[in-house]
Amino acid sequence: MKKLLDNDLKEMYGAFGRDHDRLKQTLMASLPDGAARRGQRRGLAHTRRFLQGTIMRNRITKLAASGVMVIAVIVCVNQFGGSIDGASVLYARVRESIENKPWIHATHTIRGEKALCGEEWFSFERKIAIGIEDTGKIQYSDFYSQKRYDYLPMPGTITISQIKEPPSFFEAKTPIELCKRVIELKQADGAEFSQNLIEQDGKTLEIWEVTRSEDTGSEKIKLFIDTEEYLPIVAEVSHADHTGKTTYQGTIEFEYPEIGPKDIYELGVPKDAKVVYFKDPGPEVINVAAEYDKRRRQLGDFRALTIYTSANNKSQFTILEYLPSKNKRRHTTSRVIADYDSKSLDELAEALISDSWLVLLDAKSRVFPTEYLPNNIVLLVPKMVDAFSDYYVGEWKILTSDDHELSNKVECQLKRHTRTGVYLQTWCFDPENDYWVSKYTLDVLESYEVQEDNAVVKQQYEVTAFDKTISGHLYPSQIVQQRASTNQVVQRRYYIYLEEAIHAQDVDRAFIERALKTLLQPK
Amino acid sequence: MTAPSDKMLVRAVFAGDKAAYGKLYDRYAPLVRAVCYDEAGNLADAQDLAQDVFMRAYENLDNLRDPDRFGRWLIGIARLRCKEWRRRSSYRRVANVEVDDVEPITADPQDNGRLEQLRRTIATLPERERLALHTFYLQGRSAEDARRTMGLSRSGFYRALERARQQLAALLVQEREDSL
């Protein structure tokens, strides 16, 4: 029976080869010339967009620390202008050589203050980007399936999330718009590009240099390119502080292997690592956040002075400028004044203005949202929309909603898994008070760090009073912060004075006096 | 001389070598026709569907992430194309549109009834077993190539093949008994 069946099967399957030559001829005649090749070129556009996004998400201080970033600069350099001719034959060849390599493997060794080692894998062909840190953290981005896999050795989880398009960081809706924003940003940062030719060991090497400076120092990337293969060989990176002292320097070496890691497990991730799936915020969450963001922006540029008093009677005064009109940059500075209630308003104002405090306000802390944001102003800025960045990927949901009317309180919740633990953040919007966040909580559901006895397990900020600016805009004027740790609860009260920065002036004495008068007057 | 790998052929296609795609066609067309036959139930439709599959694969070759897995990718396209075909066929039957276009499932005149019965019986097997048979008998190169096309381990492939043969034999015996 078995032999008979085998013969029958062979005979039967022979029928599927019938008319093969004729069918092949028909197919070959109808194939468009070079269609597949053209398709392959189209596929690169997406990866380039990713690189532009990568540059945007990593500000100057992080630029040099990765091979992917250097590749990003090469592939996107013509977006920035500068003296490297983006239309030159050499540039085009270098770019093509990189894009046509099955895999790019970069290893970086940075010494100094930002000492770190790591490696990156990149494939335009497969639309894969991988970053491996010396801590064991691995980020594997598959742009074909639009999925990102983040492996954290502690607690041993792989989180799978959806890759977002290069972000709405500046509300860019299209890649072209995004590029324009990047150019504006880079030009504002004073990026300079240059190129030179050198002879070394009988070989001609092209050197591309990217130099950028900001208040805290300057950074340089020097890229050596083999002019025969049209491929980057090595990059030297260095950063110096504003005094010229080198803070870190290092090298990034490039190789171009034929075969790369096919998945995250080939990079050493244990097969039994727990997999966690993250969901993007749904449209309802985005709508609420957008509404909130819109309301906040209606306020325009503003400045605020806040006071909080701690148990030891030392008060911290913070001045904040929030300027959405200038790429969301904000300036903050804080000062501690002991026994403030024993001082007169004049003395307090004098104390705040002394020691070039206001000059410092202008010079330091030019940071982007979500970085170094003082806790006491967490409710004052549209932070939740910023939280849609990749860093805040997690499980979003609306807890309560009276759908379209938004007449009741709306709560948005985000559960995040990070390398330090699992956190639950909740924003409660108050439509009755112009959509300000009236309550914000951060619960530490699980911590992977070594905990002290007094570790914070929950933080809550609640607005207890609203006030109006001179122009009549509502704002939260009193916030109660509650920090609950494993064995105690600490409460702080913040008092806030806020006014629109209608006149584009720096914070001045008159503002401080107005603010102090309002905040310290007996209620 | 060893035959060029799928990866080499795919790269050659990207480099503008259309003849390389012809070699991939030679390698996989019978298998794709067999997969399409499982759905269509007649050879003429299976041949047409297979032509569509190869055309679609060529146009979307840039979406192929791993050229070594060209065969598996192609079978995936074939399944998708067959589903579309089935949806349209059922629509045409339901809407009574151009009923004449729908070919009845009949034996190919060049077949004898025994082979047609065999083909139909194979179509009733579970997908994995069916595909194991197709790849084993139609991937003329080796069992290794067949198991790669299916994305199975060597033992997994042989197990699927053995199960397919056993189930097929049992079904054929059953059908013969029923016809008596």
DSSP codes of every residue in A144-209 = TTTEEEEEETTTTEEEEEEPPSS--TT---SHHHHHHHHHHHHHHTT-EEEEEEEEETTEEEEEEE
DSSP secondary structure of A433-455: GTTEEEEEEEEEEEE-SPPPTT-
If DSSP codes are grouped into helix, strand and coil, which group holds residue A398?
strand
CA nearest neighbour of A209 among A223, A197, A199:
A223
A32-53: burial string, b at 16+ Cβ within 10 Å, e else: eeebbbebbeebbeebbbbbbb
Closest chain B residue to the Cα of A41, Cα to Cα: B62
Provide ipTM, 2 decimals: 0.84
Residue A243 pLDDT > 70, yes or no?
yes
- Structure confidence by residue, pLDDT tens digits, B71-90: 888 888 888 788 777 766 65
In Å, what is the CA distance from A271 to each residue of A129, A142, A229, A265, A275?
Answer: 20, 19, 38, 7, 10
Distance (Å, whole) CA A321 – CA A341: 25
What's the start-to-end Cα distance of chain B, in Å? 52
In Å, what is the CA distance from A412 to each residue of A286, A385, B141?
Answer: 10, 11, 58
What pTM, to 2 d.p., does this model score?
0.42
- Structure confidence by residue, pLDDT tens digits, A327-378: 555 556 666 666 666 777 777 777 777 655 554 444 433 333 333 334 445 5
The two tokens of residue A246 are 């080198």
pLDDT of residue B24: 92
How much of chain A, in percent, has pLDDT values that exceed 90?
0
Query: Which ranges of chain B have pLDDT less than 50?
Result: 91-111
Residue A22 pLDDT > 80, yes or no?
yes
- Structure confidence by residue, pLDDT tens digits, A46-96: 444 444 444 444 433 343 444 555 555 555 444 433 334 444 555 567 667
Query: What residues of chain B lie within 8 A of the CB of A127, using their CB?
Result: 65
CA nearest neighbour of B146 among B162, B157, B159:
B157
Residue with tokens 């100094």: A112
Partner B contacted by A22 (CB < 8 A) = no
CA nearest neighbour of A460 among A480, A444, A446:
A480
Rounded mean pLDDT, A433-461: 78
Residue A178 pLDDT > 70, yes or no?
no
- Structure confidence by residue, pLDDT tens digits, A137-172: 888 877 777 677 888 887 778 888 776 554 333 333
Q: What is the DSSP letter of B69?
A: G
pLDDT of residue B113: 66
- Structure confidence by residue, pLDDT tens digits, A272-327: 888 877 666 667 777 776 776 677 667 777 778 888 766 565 677 777 776 655 55
In single-letter form, the type of residue at position B1 comes to M
pLDDT of residue A200: 66
Task: Give the 3-state secondary structure percentages of chain A, helix then strand then coil, rounded to 5.
Answer: 30, 40, 30
Q: Which of residues 64-123 of B touch A (CB under 8 A)?
A: 65-66, 108, 110-111, 114-115, 118-119, 122
In Å, what is the CA distance from B165 to each residue of A258, B81, B171?
Answer: 40, 27, 10
Partner B contacted by A29 (CB < 8 A) = no
Partner B contacted by A17 (CB < 8 A) = yes
pLDDT of residue A2: 59
Using alpha carbons only, what angle is made at residue A246 by residues A242 and A250, rounded to the nearest 5 degrees? 135
Probe site for chain B from A4, A10, A12 (most B CB atoms < 10 A): A12
